[in-house]
Amino acid sequence: MNQDQAISWGDLWAAARRAAAEAYAPYSNLSVGAAGLTDNGRTVSGCNVENASYGLTLCAECGLVGDLHRTGGGRLVAVAVTDGDGNPLTPCGRCRQLLYEAGGASCLVNETHTVGDLLPGAFGPDDLP
């Protein structure tokens, strides 16, 4: 799989929804699932994991990036983020930065966006000495 090959968004949305079903979200009651396609054709995913100390909550995209590295690394080509009912959710600011690191500006988000659209002028690895 590379940037030019077809992306099965149906499969990606389904994987994101399955991930959302595993969310631990007793405080917000918002289950979130994220699924990503890698540049070598793997599907990786994550769900949100909340904490009684609210600020320690882990977003679904955070779990997804962990899964990316745990299963062999590579780059994200496309990502879908959804609630438990299948409604698309836009990534929060912190997660846009995580997706920028793992997929770069060209990574597609929820079919209609790229990471570059969502985080214009991003700070990234190229800005470090």
Binding site for ligand THU (CB under 6 A): 25, 28, 30, 32, 48, 50, 57, 59-61, 91-92, 95
61 is catalytic: yes
Q: Which two tokens stand for residue 44?
A: 């990786």
- How near is the Cβ of 100 to ligand THU at its closest, in Å? 13
Distance CA 63, CA 55 (A): 16
- In the complex with ligand THU, the residue whose CB is nearer, 1 or 57, is 57
Could you say which of 22, 50, 61, 111 is catalytic?
61
- DSSP of 29-76, one letter per residue? ---EEEEEEETTS-EEEEE-B--SSGGGPBPHHHHHHHHHHHTT---E
- In the complex with ligand THU, the residue whose CB is nearer, 43 or 48, is 48
User: The dihedral of CA 56, 93, 111, 4: what is its sign?
Assistant: negative
- In the complex with ligand THU, the residue whose CB is nearer, 5 or 94, is 94
- How near is the Cβ of 6 to ligand THU at its closest, in Å? 26
**Active site positions, annotated:** 61
